[in-house]
Structure 1
Amino acid sequence: MQPPSIQMLTICGISELPDQRERSVTHVLSILDPDHPDPEAFEAYDPHHRTILRFHDIINPTQGMILPEPEHVEAVLRFGDEVAAGRAGTVEGHLLVHCHMGVSRSTAAMLTLLAQTHPEESEDRLFERLVEIRSQAWPNSRMIEFADDLLSRNGRLVDSLRRHYGRQIQRIPRYEQLMRDLGRSREVEMAA
């Protein structure tokens, strides 16, 4: 069941953060590249509970870059626990998850939070919910693999991710070449 304290879910990229300022954001999960400065947009937000994670949006080891690791996904789950426990002290809330573009790391984090919050829900339905929140979602496969394991989904999240990639390539054909250009060919090939 959705925690009663959260009424709205949003995923966006850094360039969209100023647009969210007026939407009464109460909880923020920021996923940034390690060397990226903290977005100035948050200075204009009302007080909110915020967690910042720093790693690159990659799925293979790359010299000088930080891969998503299990501890990053564990931190996403801890954030989810904090939101569910109402530690930020809000009655109603708006949860915002962002990364640089609002396409990969943030959508993987939101899918993880949805799976944590709705353990009884089918994996395909979780991905449907994700697309309702952010239609261009292309979750980072490495993060989803860790979430699948940590949430004891026994490979079902990864299987559903394959179907999701296939649907996204049909809906947004340019994603196939874009992901290949970004070194994410394995994800394209996962598509069912």
Structure 2
Amino acid sequence: MGTIVVAPLGKIAELAVRHRCREMLSLVAPKQGFHRPAVIDAARHLVLGVNDIAFAGTGNLVAPSDQHVSAIVDFARSWDRQAPLLVHCMMGVSRSPAAALIAALAVAPDQDDHVLVQRLRQASVQATPNARLIEIGDHVLSRQGRLVAAVKAIGRGADYVGDSPFAFSAVPERAGT
């Protein structure tokens, strides 16, 4: 299977049920309260308290760090891919698309970064992956700049016009399937 569902916070319950997700990755502001959908196994829910910023040292905000990205990678690698992985942030536009790309490369590291990022863009015109998460993910996953270049190549997503959850395959389709 290997599908990743990317959503805004307000749609997680609906999408978890609709897609039959059992695992969830939450990238929310530190101390932000929300309810985990009952269909998500509490033991398979990773919550990362991180703000949607691109630079460290921005007041009291928590910038994405190597530890956050390493947690995403470890969580993704333990995902059995039997059911879709739900990844969300507040709006489903920046942190969660970045985390989804990192998760996809963690489970299928041999795939082409540009092809992966194009799958993301085809699924969402609004996605603008958080640049700091992407840069750190590129480093942690030893992509040698390929992930950063691929995300820069698709550019900024379309202006936000409302909740637009999306899903895409974490792994490339095999020829002949």
TM-score (norm 1): 0.74
Indicate the residue corresponding to 2:71 in structure 1: 75
Higher relative contact order (CA 8 A, sep 6+): 2
Deviations 1:18-57 (A, max 9, x none): 32142211110011100211x22x2443546211111100
Matched, 1:32 2:28: yes
1:5-24 correspondence runs (5 A): 6-23=1-18, 24=20
> Structure 2 stretches of 5 or more lacking a match?
161-177
1:188 matched residue in structure 2: none
Q: Which residue is equivalent to 2:139? A: 149
Structure-2 change in CA distance of 1:80 and 1:7 (3 Å) = closer
- Coordinate RMSD, CA, aligned: 1.9
Amino acid at match of 1:45: V
Q: Does residue 117 in structure 1 map to residue 107 in structure 2?
A: yes
Alpha-carbon displacement from aligned partner over 1:115-167 (angstroms, at most 9, x marks no partner): 1222222111110122244442111111111111111111111111111115x
Contact map agreement 1:98 1:106 (CA 8 A) in 2? yes
Q: Which residue of 1 aligns with 2:172?
A: none
Residues 111 and 7 of structure 1: is their aligned pair in 2 closer, same or farther, counting only changes over 3 Å?
closer
Fraction of identical pairs, as percent:
31
Aligned-pair CA distance for 1:78:
0.7
**Which protein has the larger Cα radius of gyration, Structure 1 or Structure 2?**
1
Number of aligned pairs? 157
TM-score, structure 2 length as denominator?
0.80
Higher percent of residues as helix: 1
